[in-house]
Structure 1
Amino acid sequence: MKRWSLVAFSLAALGSVPVRAASNDVAFTPSREDFPNPERGFYRAGGSDLAQTDRAFFDRVFADGYRLVYARVDLSRFRTTPISAAYLAAMDQGFQAARSAGVKLIVRAVYNYPQGETGYQAAQDAALPIVLGHLAQLKPLLARNVGVIAYVQAGFIGAWGEWHTSSNDLTTTATRARIRDAILDAVPADRFVQFRYPPDLDHWTAPVMPSLGQTLAGGLRTGFHNDCFLASQTDVGTFPEEAEPREKLQARMANLTALAPFGGETCNPADDLGAISRSDCADVVRESARYHLTYLNADYYRGLFHDRWKSQGCLDEVSRRMGYRLVLTGARVAPEARRGSALRVDVTVSNEGWARIYNRRTVEVVLVRKIDRKAYRIPVDADPRSWLPGVTATTPLRVPLPPTMEPGVYDIALALPDPAKELAHDPRYAIRFANADAPVRNQRWAPIVGAYFVGLKVTVR
C-alpha cells in the first residue's frame, strides 16, 4: 500500500532555498561536528528508579546534548509479591517523561543495587516464579512504550541484575535459559536484549552466527553489554583468565556485536587482582571499533578513562564515532518526473561510526514545492540498518509520487524519522546526517523538518 504524508510549512519556517541551475547529481561536505543522535553515544544514568525520574531530569539531559538515559527499574520491594498497580503506573509516567523530553532509554530491571566492593555478596534477588510473574506484568507496559526504549539489558538475576551471585539459584544453565526466553517474550520483538556474560551468548549463538539478513528479519535479538569495558585483561571477570579461551570468546563477541548492539561502562580495575587497564586512546579507539561500541556511561569511572582520553586528545572522536555516523557523499536524481510515477533518487552514504543502526528506522524522501513550501513526506523501501560501519554504498530509492501531487519544482530532502507512530513526526527523534550546511549548493539540515536538503530539485509534471 502506498502512503504519503502531505505537510504544509511556511517559507519563513523552512527558509528560502535559492534557485540553482538544473543538475541531476551533487556532492556533499562532511561535518566533524559532534551532534547528538538517537539511540547512540554517551548516556546519563537516570537516578535510582525510572518510576521516580521526572521530566525535569530528562529535559536537563537533552539540553546537555545526551539522547540516551540508563533507566533502572527497581523491583527490590517486590521480591516476594507481584508488582503493584501504583508502581506500574509510575513507570508509565517515567516513560512518558522521557518521550516528552526527546530521549530514549536503556532499561534494566533489578532486585538490588548494592554499594561498595563487597555488598554484592549479600544481594537478594527473587525466586523464579516471582521473576516470571513480574515479566508477564511488565510485558504490556514495555509494548506500550517501545518507542522510547532503545535497548533492554537483561537484568533480574543476581547482584545489579548482572547474572551472577544469585540468592535464589537463578544462574543454573536451565534457569538462565528459561528467564532469557521470558525476557525475550516480554520485550517487544523489534528490540534487542543485551546480556552480561559472553559464555552465555556464545552458547546461545553456537555454532554459527546468523547472517545480517537473518538478523534484520528478527533471527537474532540477543546482544552484549560489558560493564567493565577496558578495565583489565579479563574486563574484571567478563572474559576467562586463560589466554586462549579468552581470545576465542573475544573474537566471538566481536562478531556478535556486528549484528547486535554493544555498550556498557568502564569500571574499577582494582576489582581484578593484577589488572592492567586499557585506558589509552589507542586502546579505546581500537576496541570500540572491534566491538562496534554504540553507547557508554558518560559518568562512571571518568578519572582513569574519560579524563585520560580527553588529555590524550581522542574523547571527541569517541563521542562522534559511537554507534552509527551517516555521511551523505553523493546523490543523483532525474530532473523531471510525472505524478503517479516512481521517481528514482540514488543516495550514497558512508557510515563513519563504529556500529550500524540496530533498531528499525524509516527512510523518507521529502519533496518541498518551491512556490509555497508545501511538503510531501514519502516513505521508501530502504533499510538503513544495512548501512554498515566503514562501508560506503549507494542505495537506489524508488519514490512513488502521488497521482494527486500538485505540479511544480520541488526541492529534495532526505529524512530518517523514528518509525514509532508517536515519534514519527517529532524531529528530535530523527537521525541527522553528518554533513555540513553548504548554502552555495542549497544543502542544509532543517531541524523543524528533521531532514537534510540535498541540494537537488525535480520538476513534477
Structure 2
Amino acid sequence: MMRRSLRPLGACALLAAFSAQAQAPLPQRAGTPARIAGAVVDTTFRATGEEIANPERGMYAWAADNLAAWTQAQADAQFAAGYRLVYAPVRLDDHAGGPLPGSVLAGISGGFATARRAGLKVIPRFLYNYPAGETAYQAAQDAPLDRVLAHIGQLEPLLAANADVIAYLQAGFVGAWGEWHTSSNDLTAPASRTRIRDALLAALPVDRFLQVRYPPYLMAWAPQPPRWRDGSAASRIGVHNDCFLASETDVGTYSDDATTRRRERGYVASLSTVAPFGGETCNPADAVEPTPRTNCDDILREGKQFGLTYLNDSYYRKLFHLRWEAQGCMAEVRRRMGYRFELVALRHGAAVKAGQSGELALTVRNSGWARAFNPRGVQMLLRHRASGAVVRIALASIDPRTWLPGSDGKARASFAVPGGTPAGAYDVLLAFPDGAASLAGDVRYSVRPANAADAARSQGWDAALGAFRTGTTLDIH
C-alpha cells in the first residue's frame, strides 16, 4: 500500500516383499531412471531453478482500490501475468455508522467469485479509511467497537462461504488503513483489540489464518510463541509487516528500544514457522534517520529468517525491488517466497490387484522460506496407458503442511485401487490439489512441484491434469 505505517500391493507375498524393501533408504541421486527391484519400483527426480507460480505464495498484485471494483478482466490479466495472490482492500467508509447494506455484501461476494473464476486467491482487509499521502492518517476515522463487531458478524457467512479463495485475512478495521494504530474510537486499547481479534477468529473458518500488524499485540496475547496447530488462538495469527526492511524498527513495527526490538523480532521469526508472514516494503521517510536494508544480502537473510510467504510487487519498488533486480537476486526472492516443493524420490509396488491396496514412500524437499499453511491434498493418479483413463487416489495420510522449509519431508502411505479398475499398465502421476472440495478439481489451484521435465524418463508437468508425471508404472491385474 502506498503509504506509511507506524508501528495404496495386492497378494500377501507381494506386500511382504515391498515392506521389507521399503525399510531401505530412499534413493537420493537425481537423474536415475525408474527401476524395478523385485516387486518395487523406485525413481528419483531432478529439481529446477525455474520460477513457478503456485497458490497462496509469492508476489501479490492489487484487486483495484476496493474488492467490489475489481473486474474479471483485471483478475484474468493478473493470473496470466503469473500472480496467484491478490491483496483485496474492502472499503467500508460509508457504513461506519450503520449496518452493511445488502449491496455491499453482494459486492464483496462478487469479488470473491471474480477471484475463483480467475484462479486466484485473495488477502482481504476490511477498512474504514484510506488516507492519502503520508500525513493525513492522523485524522482517519474508524468505527465504534460495537459497530465493528456487528460488521464482523455480518461478514461471517461471507468468510465461511468463500474461505476456499481466502489465502489469509489481514485483521483490518482498526485505525488508519486498517493497520491497528491511530484509532479514532480507541480500538487499539487492549480490551477492544482483544474483542476484535476474538470476533475475527470466530468468523474465520478454523483452517484459515488471521494476520495482525504489530508484534507487541501478539506478544501481549501470548508471551511465548505458539506451536504449530496447538489449538490456541495464537497459533492462528501471523504478522503482516507493511514496512519490511524499511528501517531499524521497520518504521514503528518494532520497538525503538534495541533490547525489546531484538525480542520482538525473535518472536516474529519463531511465529513464522507456525503462522504466515508477509506484507510489503515501504518508504522509510517517516523514520528518524532511516537505515533501510535494501541489498540482496538483506532480503535473502531476512526472507529466510522470517519465513516470508508473500510480498507486495508494486511498493516500495524504487528502494527495494529495483535494487534486488540490479544486484541479481530478484529471481531467487521470487522462487523462495513461501513453500517450494521439489520431488526427490518415489517408491511404490510394481503391481497390485484391483480392489486391493499398495504402499508408497515419497520424499519431498521444501526449498522455500516457509511451510504451506492451508490444507492441501496429495493424490496418486493412475493413467491407463492404452485407454488414457485416469484414476485419482487420495493419499489422505500425507499432509504437505508438515514439509518444513529447508528440509526433506518423508512420507509413507497406503493407496487403495478401486474395485473394478480395468487391468493394464498405468502411468503414475502425483498431484497436490487444493484442500477445498470446491477447488480440488480446478488444476489452476494445484501445486506444481519445482522439478525439471525429462522426456527420456517420461517425467514432467501435465498441465491438463495438474499433476507431475513420475515416469513410473503400476500394473493392475
Are the equivalent residues in 1 in contact too, given 2:112–2:165 (CA < 8 A)? yes
Q: Which residue of the partner structure matches residue 20 of structure 2?
A: none
Q: Which residue of the partner structure matches residue 178 of structure 2?
A: 161
Any gaps of 5 or more consecutive residues in structure 1?
3-18
Of 238, 243, 246 in structure 2, the residue corresponding to residue 223 of structure 1 is 238
Going from structure 1 to structure 2, the CA distance change for 1:169 and 1:329 (only over 3 Å counts) comes to same
**Sequence identity (%):** 48
Going from structure 1 to structure 2, the CA distance change for 1:408 and 1:20 (only over 3 Å counts) comes to farther
Q: Which residue of the partner structure matches residue 435 of structure 2?
A: 419
Task: Output aligned runs, 1:201-220, within 5 Å.
Answer: 201-207=218-224, 209-212=225-228, 214=230, 220=235
Q: Distance in 1 between matches of 2:379 and 2:220?
A: 39
Q: Give the structure-2-normalised TM-score.
A: 0.91
Are the equivalent residues in 2 in contact too, given 1:190–1:218 (CA < 8 A)? no
Of 324, 332, 338 in structure 2, the residue corresponding to residue 317 of structure 1 is 332
Cα distance per residue 1:202-231 (max 9 Å; x no partner): 122223x3333526x987211110000000
Q: Which residue of the partner structure matches residue 16 of structure 1?
A: none
Deviation of 1:347 after TM superposition, in Å, equals 1.1
Q: Distance in 2 between matches of 1:254 and 1:44?
A: 25
Q: Which residue of the partner structure matches residue 162 of structure 2?
A: 145
Give yes or no for the alignment of 1:457 onto 2:456.
no
Q: Distance in 2 between matches of 1:41 and 1:356?
A: 13
Q: Distance in 2 between matches of 1:213 and 1:86?
A: 37
Cα distance per residue 1:129-173 (max 9 Å; x no partner): 110110011000111111111000000000000000000111110
Give yes or no for the alignment of 1:397 onto 2:397.
no
Are the equivalent residues in 2 in contact too, given 1:147–1:420 (CA < 8 A)? yes
Deviation of 1:297 after TM superposition, in Å, equals 0.1
Q: Which residue of the partner structure matches residue 75 of structure 2?
A: 58
| Deviates most, 388-397 or 189-198 | 388-397
- Give the partner amino acid of 2:46: T
- Give the partner amino acid of 1:364: Q
Q: Which residue of the partner structure matches residue 90 of structure 1?
A: 107
Q: Which residue of the partner structure matches residue 256 of structure 1?
A: 271
Of 389, 392, 403 in structure 2, the residue corresponding to residue 374 of structure 1 is 389
Of 129, 137, 146 in structure 2, the residue corresponding to residue 120 of structure 1 is 137
Deviation of 1:253 after TM superposition, in Å, equals 0.6
- Give the partner amino acid of 1:450: G
Number of positions where the alignment pairs a residue of Structure 1 with one of Structure 2: 442
Q: Give the structure-1-normalised TM-score.
A: 0.94
Deviation of 1:393 after TM superposition, in Å, equals 2.6
Are the equivalent residues in 1 in contact too, given 2:36–2:42 (CA < 8 A)? no
Deviation of 1:234 after TM superposition, in Å, equals 0.2
Are the equivalent residues in 2 in contact too, given 1:43–1:298 (CA < 8 A)? yes
Q: Distance in 2 between matches of 1:210 and 1:366?
A: 37
Q: Which residue of the partner structure matches residue 410 of structure 1?
A: 426
Of 192, 208, 212 in structure 2, the residue corresponding to residue 175 of structure 1 is 192
Secondary structure of residue in 2 paired with 1:194: strand
Deviation of 1:270 after TM superposition, in Å, equals 1.0
Going from structure 1 to structure 2, the CA distance change for 1:20 and 1:433 (only over 3 Å counts) comes to closer
Q: Distance in 2 between matches of 1:223 and 1:78?
A: 28
Cα distance per residue 1:409-454 (max 9 Å; x no partner): 1111110101222211110000000001111111110001000011
Give yes or no for the alignment of 1:79 onto 2:96.
yes
Secondary structure of residue in 2 paired with 1:73: strand
Q: Which residue of the partner structure matches residue 245 of structure 1?
A: 260
- Give the partner amino acid of 2:221: W
Secondary structure of residue in 2 paired with 1:394: strand
Are the equivalent residues in 2 in contact too, given 1:159–1:166 (CA < 8 A)? yes
Q: Distance in 1 between matches of 2:199 and 2:297?
A: 40
Q: Which residue of the partner structure matches residue 270 of structure 1?
A: 285
Secondary structure of residue in 2 paired with 1:250: helix
Q: Distance in 2 between matches of 1:89 and 1:393?
A: 42
Q: Distance in 2 between matches of 1:70 and 1:115?
A: 18
- Give the partner amino acid of 2:124: V
Q: Distance in 2 between matches of 1:21 and 1:430?
A: 28
- Give the partner amino acid of 2:321: H
Q: Which residue of the partner structure matches residue 14 of structure 1?
A: none
Deviation of 1:91 after TM superposition, in Å, equals 1.1
Going from structure 1 to structure 2, the CA distance change for 1:174 and 1:28 (only over 3 Å counts) comes to same
Deviation of 1:362 after TM superposition, in Å, equals 0.8
Q: Which residue of the partner structure matches residue 359 of structure 1?
A: 374
Deviation of 1:397 after TM superposition, in Å, equals 2.1
Give yes or no for the alignment of 1:346 onto 2:361.
yes
Any gaps of 5 or more consecutive residues in structure 2?
1-7, 9-32
Are the equivalent residues in 2 in contact too, given 1:189–1:218 (CA < 8 A)? no
Deviation of 1:52 after TM superposition, in Å, equals 1.2
Q: Which residue of the partner structure matches residue 125 of structure 2?
A: 108
Runs of 4+ more than 6 Å apart: none
Q: Distance in 1 between matches of 2:230 and 2:184?
A: 37
